[in-house]
Structure 1
Amino acid sequence: MKIRKIEPNGDLTPIGNKKSRFKRAFIILGSIVFISLFSLTGYVYYKKERKNICLGSDTKIYNTYKDAVVLIKHRYGYFAKIKGIEIQINEDEDAKEETIYGTGFFVNRKGNIVTNNHVLQPWNSSNEESEKVNSNIRNLRMKIASILTTDVSEDDYENFISRNWKTASVYDGDEGDDEGDDEGDYEDNGEANQESTGEDFVSSNDAETDTIKETTDIAAAIPVKEYVSKDDIEVYVKTIEIEVALHDSEGNWLSCEINKISEDSNIDLDLLQLTNHETPQSVENIVDLDNAVEDDQSLMPGQKAIMIGYPLGMDLAQTNSGIKVQLYNGQISKESDGNKIQYSITSTHGASGAPVFNECGYLIAVNFSGIDQVQGINFGIVAKHINDL
Structure 2
Amino acid sequence: MKIRKIGTNNELHDIKKRKPYKIIFFAVIILSTATFFGFKYLKKPPAVICLDSDTKVYNEYKGAVVLIKHSYGYFAKIKGKEIQLTNEDAKEETVFGTGFFVDRDGKILTNSHVLQPWNASDEEQEKTNTAIRNLRLKIASILTTDISEEEYQSFIERNWKIASAYDESESDSEGESEETTEEPAGEEFVSSNDTEVVDTAKVTTDIAAAIPVKEYVSMEDIEVYVKTVDIVVALHDSDDQWLSCEIEKISEDTNIDLGIVRLTDHKTPQSVANTINLDNAVEDDASLNPGQKAIMIGYPLGMDLAQTNSGIKVQLYDGKISKESDGNKIQYSITSTHGASGAPVFNECGQLIAVNFSGVDEVQGFNFGIVAKHIRTF
TM-score band (shorter)?
0.7 to 0.9
Q: Tell me how far apart the structure 2 counterparts of residues 216 and 105 of structure 1 sit (CA, whole Å).
A: 69
Cα distance in structure 2, aligned partners of 1:218 and 1:131: 42
- Mind listing any 5+ residue stretches in structure 1 that lack a counterpart? 1-15, 173-203
Match of 2:118 in 1: 123
Q: Is the 8 A contact 1:51 1:290 kept in 2?
A: no
5 Å-filtered alignment, 1:172-191, equals none
Partner residue in 2 for 1:303: 292
Picking from 253, 275, 287, the partner of 1:286 is 275
Deviations 1:13-32 (A, max 9, x none): xxx9xx9xx99xx99x97xx
Q: Indicate the residue corresponding to 1:96 in structure 2.
A: 91
Measured against aligned partners, the alpha-carbon deviations of 1:190-243 in whole angstroms (never above 9, x if no partner) come to: xxxxxxxxxxxxxx9xx766x644652443233111111111111111000110
- Match for residue 143 of structure 1? 138
User: What secondary structure, in the 3-state scheme, does the structure 1 residue paired with 2:266 have?
Assistant: coil
SS of residue matched to 1:51:
coil
- Partners of 1:296 and 1:250 lie apart in 2 by 38
Distance 1:319 1:221 in 2: 64
Question: Within 5 A, what are the aligned runs for 1:194-343?
Answer: 212-213=201-202, 215-343=204-332
Q: Which amino acid aligns with 2:228?
A: T
Query: What one-letter code is carried by the residue in structure 1 that aligns with 2:235?
Result: L
Query: Is 2:65 aligned against 1:69?
Result: yes
**Where in structure 2 are the equivalents of 1:17-28 lying within 5 Å?**
none
**Quick one: percent identity of the two aligned structures?**
73
Q: Within 1, Cα distance between the matches of 2:113 and 2:204?
A: 58
Pairing 1:84–2:80 present: yes
TM-score, normalisation: structure 1: 0.79
**Residue identity opposite 2:79 in structure 1:** K
Partners of 1:89 and 1:95 within 8 A in 2? yes
User: Alignment RMSD, CA only?
Assistant: 3.1
Give the direction of change, closer, same or farther, for the CA distance of 1:53–1:146 in structure 2 (3 Å limit): same
Code of the aligned partner of 1:271: I
Equivalent residue number for residue 11 of structure 1: none
CA distance in 1: counterparts of 2:321 and 2:223, whole angstroms: 46
Q: Which among 352, 358, 366 is matched to residue 355 of structure 2?
A: 366
Q: Is the 8 A contact 1:146 1:171 kept in 2?
A: no
1:33-71 per-residue CA deviation (whole Å, 9 max, x = no partner) reads 98xx69x97xx98x84x4321111111111110111010
CA offset digits 1:74-97 (Å, max 9, x no partner) = 0000111111111111113x3211
Post-superposition offset of 1:277: 1.2
Moved over 3 A (4+): 211-215
Shift of 1:388: 1.6
Separation (CA, whole Å) in 2 of partners of 1:218 and 1:169: 22
SS of corresponding position for 2:215 = coil
Question: Structure 2: which 5+ runs fail to align?
Answer: 1-13, 168-194
Residue deviations 1:328-356, cap 9 Å, x none?
Answer: 00000000000000000001110000000
One-letter amino acid of the counterpart of residue 68, structure 1: A
Distance change (3 Å), C-alpha of 1:214 and 1:379: closer
**Structure with greater Cα Rg:** 1
How many residues are treated as equivalent by the alignment?
Answer: 341
Equivalent-residue separation in structure 1 for 2:236 and 2:201 (angstroms): 76
Structure 1 residues 334 and 214 mapped into 2: Cα distance closer, same or farther (>3 Å)? closer
* Alpha-carbon contact 1:107-1:287 (below 8 Å) kept: yes
Per-residue deviation at 1:256?
Answer: 0.8
